[in-house]
Amino acid sequence: MPRASINLLRAALLAIFLVTAGVTPRPANAAIYRCQAPDGSMVYTDRACSELGATAAPAGPVQEGPPGQRRRAPPRVGCARNLPELVLRVANAINQQDTNQLAGVYHWAGMSGGQSVAILRRLDAVAHRPLAGIVQVSPQVAQSIDGMVTDAEYYAKRPVSQSPVALRIEQSTGDGVSPSHTVFGLQRHFGCWWIRG
């Protein structure tokens, strides 16, 4: 093959490479912004706050700083495979005042747009109250009425261990004194634990 043909072939390949390199798809980086609307409500959006006539609302004191200051933990990979891990993730999200982390352990399957906005507001309120503790709630056992034995008591041969059905988040309100509690149901889905409700 003559040298001129090789140079022409190289030039054509280089031109094809440069043209295709400019049009290759790149991953899109979508950011979620926490904005405060003029009426004081929180808005979560993928657009800049100024486009909505709102102002940017900081997520709380989570920047790197001195040893005594709160720091944002690196995100965990995957979902909570057991209940203690779910409790730890919920506690970390509340301690860091991170609504997105708390939303990351919520079971959103089958949720409409209107429902999700209300739930996100509820999660935001929970994430920004001081955490006192998280209690695992077990199902209630049927009690006997007027001395009569219920079927569950009659047929029970041995104690049955019951797994929790909900988590009760114990917190204090904005004044730091009044107690507040929120109950989230537990959902097992695809081998992972989630909060719901």
Contact indicator for 120, 84 with CB cutoff of 8 Å: no
Beta bridge partners of 182: 169
Residue 178, pLDDT score: 85
List the beta strands (DSSP E) in the chain: 33-36, 42-45, 55-56, 131-137, 166-172, 179-189, 192-196
User: What DSSP state is assigned to residue 149?
Assistant: P
Contact indicator for 50, 163 with CB cutoff of 8 Å: no
- Of the candidates 118, 117, 94, the residue with the CA atom closest to the CA atom of residue 105: 94
Residue 173, pLDDT score: 83
Q: 174 to each of 43, 56, 69, 167, how far by Cα in Å? A: 20, 21, 20, 21
Phi-psi region at 191: left, alpha or beta (left = phi > 0; alpha = psi -120 to 50): left
Sign of CA dihedral 175, 88, 80, 138: negative
Contact indicator for 131, 171 with CB cutoff of 8 Å: yes
Which CATH number applies to 78-139+162-197: 3.10.450.50, 3.40.50.300, 1.10.10.10, 3.40.1180.10?
A: 3.10.450.50
Residues of the chain falling short of pLDDT 70: 1-5, 14-15, 17-32, 41, 58-77, 140-161
